[in-house]
Amino acid sequence: MVASIVSTGLAIGCIYALIGITYNVMFSASRVFSFTAGTLGMLGGVLGSLFIARLGLPVAIGFLLALAGGVVLGIVTEIVAVRPVLKSLDQHLYVLSTLALALMVQQFTAIEWGTEARPFPRLFDIARGGFDQQFWLPMLACAGVIVGLELLYRHTLIGRAFLAIAEDTYAARALGLPERRLRMVSYALAGAIGALAGFAGGEMLLAFFGNGPMLTFYGFVPVALGGMGNNRGAVVAGLLLGLFQQTANFLVGGIFASVAVFTVFIIVLLARPEGLAGAALQRRV
Amino acid sequence: MDMPMAQVRPGRADTLGAKTGTLGVALPFLALLVLGIAFPLFGGGYWGVIATRACVYWVLVSGLNLVVGFAGQIAIGWVALLTLGAYTTSVLVAGTVTPELSPYLALAIAAVVGAIFGLIVGLPALRLRTFYFAITTLGFATIVTQVALAWQSVTGGGVGVAGPIFPKPFDSQWGFYYFCFGLAAFCTWMTANIAASRFGRALTAIRDAEVAAEACGIAKPALLGAVFLFSGAVAAIAGGLFASLQSYITPDAFTLDLSVLFFIAILIGGRSSILGPLLGTILLTVLPEFAAPLVAWSTFLYAVLLLVIVLAMPGGIAELLDYKNRRPLESGRAIVPRPELLGRLLDAPATAGAGALTLEQVALAFGGVHAIDGLDLEIRSGQIHGLIGPNGSGKTTTLNVISGYYAQQSGTVRLNGAALPVLERHRRAHMRIARTFQTPRIVGSASVLQNVMIGGTIDGQCTFIESLLSLPRHRRDEVLLRDTAMLALAAVGLERLAPVRADRLQHSELRFTEIARALMLRPAFLLLDEPAAGLSAEEISRLGALVVAIARAGTGVLLVEHHADLIFDICHHVTVLNLGKNLAAGTPAEIRSHREVVNAYLGG
């Protein structure tokens, strides 16, 4: 029992963490939280199932196409929902524009793909074991993304440019960094990460259009608790969230597990609105 | 909505103009009322269902409108409260858990449950901003559906539960329609009352100019709490009606799409409007019926509509209908204050003549920067105290410490000898300390008059419920606030602009609007943060005369300014700051000849 709670909890936690990182990558480039983060995860699962199970493409090609779908949605998010409202960041119009885009994608999926959850194909043809691929795939994906992002941010020029933009957009622009193009690339990258989350977790979450809002919410919890833009915080908080949810599921049952997660989330946020690891102070007058 | 009739003070023409305006405002509502009552004459069976549904939705949207359209809180998961109300009513009437209750009693209990949950879902808005709040409401909606699905013993799980049936005469189709229509009309009336009350204005102030709202003494927690209670209650009532209309409910009936419909109806309608969201709700309910093949795509279309509105017309229907504010304003208008009116406006300042606002050794550092460093200052009633100094010398910081935006690290601020509590900014207004801001903080979508009336919020006597029901005390408050605001506008020379949307004003007019708003508090002390910035030479001299008259009426004025001429012309006392310290203090004549001041700041 404990082994099952831990493996399921960690796997789900990794998916939440990946969605959290999706939020963060977009946020770092634009100071915008986008409702499309969870939609990307949903899309990864649906596209994976579409390409591999329904169209019968090889796993590797289906995987790349699913990521490409995420990249496209990431770029569309930037062009349609973020760039036009960036000037008026004060009015928080981005909340509404990204929500609108997320709903459009979700509704389109519901109509074209259907509203019932469909199975996601098994990616590797190996027998089901105690520690199955549905558990270790999300963990592998999460570890890969974290290591990849660390390498990118620390050891490449473009990664340092990302950091510069995240730190101080105006200063970065004054230094001559192509802010707009970097933002685009960030959104494309975020799109790929979000789709990867849904793809790797496909077997657990299934290919279901309704996963969008669920992932949008549970994926934001690690961001809020781990601190905005803090990827390591998101991973730690995501894993804790997954474990907590599965434990509560086991102890008090499905109904109250989600209530428990929600309650803890609200209480922590109210106690520390800037996250467990963050600090914020702004001049208002 | 009541206009002062007998005791019209200055600006008679405008108040009378507003009277005829009221009829114009009420006309569309009356037309809808007549249309709604007569509807069964020409609507057939299926259209009756659609019309009933529009009424049920509007009961919810009317309350949500106060949250989203007025207070500006992005509550996207309000379907959760509909779900809650629907299940509470149905389960209580079905009697599976409790003894069978009458539908009315069940509806009333649902309203109480809805109000409580509205408060629980809403309260995080006090600490969380925009996206965070939006996400918490989304999370709540997700969870309520999950609970409804999983708690089979009560909700019937996926199988569902039968909706309540209301007794005669509301059991027939049209009977039930009239029941819902009556409630919808009642909700329209109540929310319109709130919109036209100090509570409605305070909500828009929280949305668009939160800092100014605090300075006017608006207590955000109490106000938002009341609004969330109301909004939750009507949403749950709508849920009960919805269950009855559906006759059978399952968790599938309460998708996020429905939430989106409510939310978008408000945004299409426009902010701070009742009519706009009402038309938006009718539009969104009816639209899919006209285009049957589009029903499956309706949510997709709503989302497209939302995107278009956000990007292309953030004002919504309300702005389209607001033809009055598209008429050009007269050009070359001048602000001519009438300081002689101040005597009536400021008739009895709380501390007549003898009070003082004093700073003793106040210090505040941001990191290693000493913004103010051991500052002493005394502002006396009836006098003008000038505070000058180079940029970064701590002038605005001083003002922010006095008005409670910053906490000093040492030292004390005293009002008439008693220490002012640190940071409690909304209590400053109750102590009759008013202020203006370096960049005017104004509710752009409200009229100039409404903006000024916001300044008098704390002088209203009536409670939220009295305003909801437009009881006598509410009407008395409104008359008084309107009269006082017209007087304040006349005093600063803006009464002709009273009905104009504030975001159409020139910069200098906004500065005088802020002064009028501050005067609404009948301030014992008035803190002016660079009021002359951006004004023409002529306007500056009129401003000077106005400030002198304010002081003469007994108010102590702290004037932070860069215009040395204005300072030396009107101040009784001047303090010069440099690097957060007193460089010099004295009469204008002493300061003008102070060697260090001339070197550091004035230039020789």
Domain spans in chain B, listed from the N-terminal domain onward: 28-36+45-319, 339-602
Residues of B near A (CB-CB distance < 8 A)?
74, 76, 124, 127-132, 134-136, 138-143, 146-147, 150-151, 211, 256-257, 260, 267, 296-297, 299-300, 302-304, 306-307, 310-311, 314, 396, 400, 405, 437
- Partner residue facing A255 (CB), from B131, B150, B296: B150
Unique residue bearing structure tokens 């207590």: B219
Q: Which of B131, B295, B300, B514 to mutate to test the interface with A (most CBs of A within 10 A)?
A: B131
Chain B CB within 8 Å of residue A258 CB: yes
Spatial separation of the C-alpha atoms in residues A86 and A30, rounded to whole Å: 8
Contacts of B143 in chain A (CB under 8 A): 258-259, 262
For domain B339-602, the CATH superfamily is P-loop containing nucleotide triphosphate hydrolases (3.40.50.300)
* Parts of chain B with a pLDDT under 70: 1-22, 292, 347-353, 604
Paired with B388 in beta bridges are: B576
Sign of CA dihedral B562, B568, B573, B578: positive
**Predicted pLDDT at A93:** 82
Distance from CA of A110 to the nearest CA of B (A): 9
Q: How many C-beta atoms surround the C-beta of residue B168 within 10 A?
A: 7
Contacts of B147 in chain A (CB under 8 A): 255, 258-259
What architecture does CATH give domain A2-118+129-271?
A: Orthogonal Bundle (1.10)
Unique residue bearing structure tokens 């009295």: B466
Which option is the CATH number for B28-36+45-319: 1.10.10, 3.10.20, 1.10.760, 1.10.3470? 1.10.3470
**Predicted pLDDT at B536:** 92
Q: Do A258 and B396 touch (CB under 8 A)?
A: no
Token output for B232 = 């939750």
Under 8 Å between Cβ of B425 and B215 = yes
Q: Give the global pTM.
A: 0.89
**Predicted pLDDT at B131:** 84
Q: Do A217 and B256 touch (CB under 8 A)?
A: no
Distance from CA of B147 to the nearest CA of A (A): 5
Distance from CA of B420 to the nearest CA of A (A): 19
Axis crossing angle, helix B256-269 with helix B79-94, rounded to the nearest 10: 130
* Parts of chain A with a pLDDT under 70: 89-91, 254, 274-285
Q: String of b and e for B296-329 (b: at least 16 CB within 10 Å)?
A: ebbbbbbbbbbbebbbeebebbbbebeeeeeeee
Which tens digits make up the pLDDT trace of B526-553? 999 999 999 999 999 999 999 999 999 9
Q: Which of B123, B310, B403 to mutate to test the interface with A (most CBs of A within 10 A)?
A: B310
A124: nearest Cα among A110, A134, A111, A112: A134
Q: Do A80 and B124 touch (CB under 8 A)?
A: no
- Partner residue facing B124 (CB), from A220, A255, A266: A266
Which tens digits make up the pLDDT trace of A158-180? 888 888 888 888 888 888 888 88
